[in-house]
Amino acid sequence: MKKIIALLLVVCMVVCFAACGKKAETPADTKATDATESLKQPDEKKVMTYAEYAAAAIDAEVVVETYVQANQSWWEDKITVYCQSQDGAYFAYELKCSEEDSKKMVPGTKIRITGTKGEWEGEVEIMDGTFEFVEGDTFVAEAFDATDLLGTDDLIKHQNEKVAFKGMTVEKVAYQNDQPGKDIYVTLGLAEKSYDFCVESYLTSPESDLYKAVGELDAGDVVDVEGFLYWYQGANPHITNVTKK
- For residue 83, give the CATH number of its domain: 2.40.50.140
H helices within 41-164, ranges in order? 50-55, 99-102
Whether residue 115 is contained in a domain is answered as yes
Report the alpha-carbon distance of residue 200 to residue 206 in Å, rounded: 9
Please tell me the predicted confidence (pLDDT) of residue 245: 93
Please tell me the predicted confidence (pLDDT) of residue 116: 98
Of 133, 162, 193, which residue constitutes the final position of a domain? 133
DSSP class of residue 180? B
User: Residue 34, Cβ neighbours under 10 Å: how many?
Assistant: 10
Residue 17 backbone dihedrals phi, psi, to 5 degrees? -60, -40
Report the alpha-carbon distance of residue 138 to residue 107 in Å, rounded: 8
Same domain, 77 and 120: yes
Best CA proximity match to 167, nearest among 219, 240, 244, 236: 244
Same domain, 57 and 128: yes
User: Residue 215, Cβ neighbours under 10 Å: how many?
Assistant: 16
Same domain, 199 and 240: yes
Give residue 237's domain range: 144-244
Whether residue 25 is contained in a domain is answered as no
Contacts of 99 (CB under 8 A, 6+ apart): 74, 77
Quick check: helix, strand or coil at residue 202? coil
Same domain, 117 and 187: no
Report the alpha-carbon distance of residue 111 to residue 149 in Å, rounded: 30
Whether residue 65 is contained in a domain is answered as yes
Contacts of 80 (CB under 8 A, 6+ apart): 71, 72, 91, 92, 93, 94, 95, 202
Please tell me the predicted confidence (pLDDT) of residue 44: 74
Whether residue 36 is contained in a domain is answered as no
How many domains would you assign to the chain? 2
Of 133, 160, 195, which residue constitutes the final position of a domain? 133
Whether residue 62 is contained in a domain is answered as yes
Q: Which helix (H) or strand (E) holds 45?
A: none
Quick check: helix, strand or coil at residue 96? strand
Whether residue 19 is contained in a domain is answered as no
Same domain, 216 and 129: no
Please tell me the predicted confidence (pLDDT) of residue 43: 53
What is the full per-residue pLDDT of the chain (245 aa) written as tens digits?
A: 444 434 444 434 433 434 444 444 444 444 444 544 444 444 578 999 999 999 999 999 999 999 999 999 999 999 999 999 999 999 999 999 999 999 999 999 999 999 999 999 999 999 999 999 999 999 999 999 999 999 999 999 999 999 999 999 999 999 999 999 999 999 999 999 999 999 999 999 999 999 999 999 999 999 999 999 999 999 999 999 999 99
Of 110, 133, 156, which residue constitutes the final position of a domain? 133
